[in-house]
Chain A
Amino acid sequence: MKRWIPLLLLALAAASCSSPAENLAVLANGPGTVGVGPTQRLLFGLRAPDGTELASPELPMTLELSFREDPTNADDDEFVLSTPIHFEWMIPNVLGIYVADVAFARSGVWVATLVSSDGEESIPTPFGVDPHSSVPEVGEPAVVVASRTASSIGDLSAITTDTDPDLALYEISLDEALANGKPTVVAFATPAFCTSATCGPVVETIKAFRRSFPDDANWIHVEIYENIDVDNFADLVLTEAVAAWAFPTEPWVYVMDGSGIVVARFEGFVSQDELAAALAAASA
């Protein structure tokens, strides 16, 4: 993936500058996280030329995907598929994004175009698909690693930046949860960085579900950083669990079955419907 990034950024800049009158599809998945094989949950914003976000439930879209055989030649794009893309609220009735579930058969540079119901197309957006996602995929074993708990640390404020923490999310370590035979739902997130209305509050979603289904799963929140109170953000250090999972972005929510196999994974946000379906699959 890394070798494609400069090419992709150049292509994206060229695309946005060359056609300022058209809307731009923006892929919001992290670098290296989209891979060949299992169905991938792609996240797309849609920006107007002035930067305004257009994604809306009132603006239905179709996703068209092409494969670029030669990453340097946009004329070489080969149309592969057209698939429905649906709108999901990240924050109910406030902020949303388009979501598409796509399985890729080959790695390389792909090109996404969002097409409205009246046929208006966005500027084609190139993006990389890796031979394998850089983070655990659906169907693979979860990474077994200890996470900090209230009993191991003592001070809850030392292990979470949630200003209204649910103690139950810090009672069991991730490695112990993955071994006790119950499904596990874990949110890797830093609530302190989600203070403005720009991100899906995944920890709040997990807390609400745990209250409704306390015994259906192990419920865990893992902070991204060891040292949130730094003077300089460049000094942030990842927690051991996050480093072990090798996330390039946050937040992530993972759902594992009782055997510790990943049943679902969600980057950026998870809707209540998505989490309910994942929990049902993990419990089946």
Chain B
Amino acid sequence: MRFLAVLLITSLLAGACASTGNSTLVGSVIAVDGDLVDVRTFEVLSDGASFEFRPAFDGDFSIPLVHLRDHLRSGEPVRVTYHEVEGELVATDVVDAETRH
């Protein structure tokens, strides 16, 4: 029984460590570093804090990232799907968000 418990806990921990689970965040675009063909980073304000994202090189984005400049002007929210890699927030998708939360 003790062996099974240790095995179960070990399996759960291993699963948690291997997980690269994506997160989502809804907020307002407040900065875009890039041009008409390449967005290098963008920044989103959400719940009083700013988050800087780098688009994933292999990201399959629902909208062209240059569209983020429209959001920069309008303040209309975006929903960012991302994961963290060595302290860096890597965006894998961005969509127009209907609501902030």
Q: Which residues of A contact B (CB under 8 A)?
A: 5, 9, 12-13, 16-17, 20-21, 24, 26, 28, 30-31, 43, 45, 47, 49-55, 90, 95, 97, 193-194, 196-200, 224, 232-234, 236-238, 242, 247-250, 268-269
Contact = CB atoms under 8 A, between A and B. Distances in A.
Given A16-B49, A24-B30, A47-B28, 9 more contacts: A9-B31, A13-B43, A26-B31, A26-B72, A30-B69, A50-B47, A193-B64, A233-B64, A249-B35
B65 interface: yes
Contacts of B70: 193-194, 196, 198-199
Nearest to A193: B67
Contact of B96 (A12, A198, A232, A249): A198
Interface of B: 26-28, 30-31, 33, 35-38, 41, 43-50, 52, 60-61, 63-67, 69-77, 96, 100
Contacts of B72: 26, 28, 45
Contacts of A233: 61, 64-66
A24 B77 CA distance: 15
Main secondary structure of the interface of A (DSSP, over half): loop
Given A9-B52, A250-B66, A51 B74 contact: no
Nearest 7 pairs of A and B residues by beta carbon: A53-B75, A51-B28, A20-B48, A199-B70, A49-B48, A233-B64, A28-B73
